A and B are shown apart, each in its own frame.
Chain A
Amino acid sequence: MGESRKKVALVIGSGAIKCAASIGMFQVLEEEGIGVDLVVGCSGGAIYGVGIASGKTTDEIKEISDATWTKDLMQDYLVNLKASKDGSLKFNERSGLVDDNYLNEKLRSISGGKSFADLQTPLIVVATDMMSGEPVELSEGDVFSSVRASLAIPMIFPPWEVNGQLLIDGAASNPLPIDIAIQNGADVVLAMGFTFDYRQRFRSITAVQEHMTSIYMNNIFKNSYAFNNLAHHSEIFPIIPEFDSVISMFDVHKMPHLIERGREATLEQLPHMKRLLGRKL
């Protein structure tokens, strides 16, 4: 009896616009004819996960990417931030500082009205339960709702309700959900993850708060990677692109750089992936 083919999962972690590096990873996999059996996406990574799982070409995913990360995403942020400080904006568990109409419109367009069952490749989107803090796997029903929930950056975008659960950003509980890929049968995990850049200047309480969040998030990322790497038996290929400069949320002009760095990080692991998958080097 021949050896059965290894199940390959692509995990795209949280990282907002940096997740565009996954386009470079996907380009390499396509060029090499390496098929993906499962896609797992978290937060920004969920957007690209939908593109890949829908069977879109890398050019189509790049177009989506260019159109997504614009300043329109942050509609009314500054006005609402000011209002939250002077008390005129009352906050509760369903609030966010951004009017999410633009985000919702973008994500509806990306999801194309599809349900998970319509996708070419199985997709799992990761969000976080607002009330318990537990990670939540979303793989059924409406793709838009799941991606919207996974992207609900705390305080910025309002949480999103799915199946009666109020959900926020998957990055709050599982920024690089390798464990979910493995629990769903992956033998080989290609895990693209991103860390937050640290600030050098602090000129406002918001800047300090953002910096502290980066520290928390980077430690969640590193600790969960370390646990998954040592605890599981599947082979994990970490694909961690490195960037020359700080990448801000709306650096659309850096898209070619992001994609190239995603390619480079993938090519670094490629010979090892191919050897494990029994491909010619």
Chain B
Amino acid sequence: MEFKLTEVDGIGILRVEGELDALTSPELTRFFRTQAADSYLHVVLNLEGLSYSSSAGIRIFLGLAREARARGGDVRFAAVQPRVDKIFRLSKFDKIVQIYSRVDEAVQSFRKD
């Protein structure tokens, strides 16, 4: 998996690339906690490059969102690809977190809060 962390107006933008499952999801958790969580209250996960997420991947996403919310922030999702979107909907994950078509829309959503 590959991760790239950037910033827009104080909001962390984490681009996640590859396939997320029980084997790879610990990498995301580790990167998020060590690189993003300490620096940013609000994070947008850019999933444009994520081609697959298993049930373990969704549980990791939920865990990251919960941790961020416990600190008073949030994790929001953008550019979810069709295969991942299908599993998000089947899991009703889209009813738990906020998902946007584009990264700039997700960033904008934090400004409106």
Contacts and interface: CB of A to CB of B under 8 A. Distances in A.
A119 to B, nearest CB: 28
Interface in A214-246: 222-223, 225-226, 229-230, 232-238, 240
A275 B59 contact: no
Contacts of B22: 235, 276
Contact of B92 (A222, A235, A240): A222
A238 B87 contact: yes
Contact of B58 (A223, A229, A237): A229
Given A236-B54, A238-B90, A240-B90, 7 more contacts: A229-B59, A229-B91, A230-B58, A230-B62, A235-B21, A235-B22, A238-B55
Interface string B16-44: 00010111000000000000000000000
A272 interface: yes
Contact of B21 (A225, A232, A275): A275
A235 B91 contact: no
Given A230-B59, A272-B19, A276-B23, A225 B90 contact: yes
Interface of A: 222-223, 225-226, 229-230, 232-238, 240, 272, 275-276
Contact of A235 (B19, B52, B56, B62): B56
B21 A276 contact: yes
A236 B21 contact: no
A226 B55 CA distance: 10
Contacts of B87: 238
Contacts, number: 45
25 contacts: A222-B90, A222-B92, A223-B92, A225-B91, A226-B92, A229-B55, A229-B58, A229-B59, A229-B90, A229-B91, A230-B62, A230-B91, A230-B93, A232-B55, A233-B59, A235-B21, A235-B22, A235-B54, A236-B55, A238-B90, A240-B90, A272-B19, A275-B21, A275-B23, A276-B23
Nearest to B19: A272
A235 B90 contact: no
Contacts of A226: 90-93
Contact of B52 (A223, A229, A240, A272): A272
Contacts of A233: 59
A230 B87 CA distance: 12
A222 B93 CA distance: 11
A35 B10 CA distance: 50
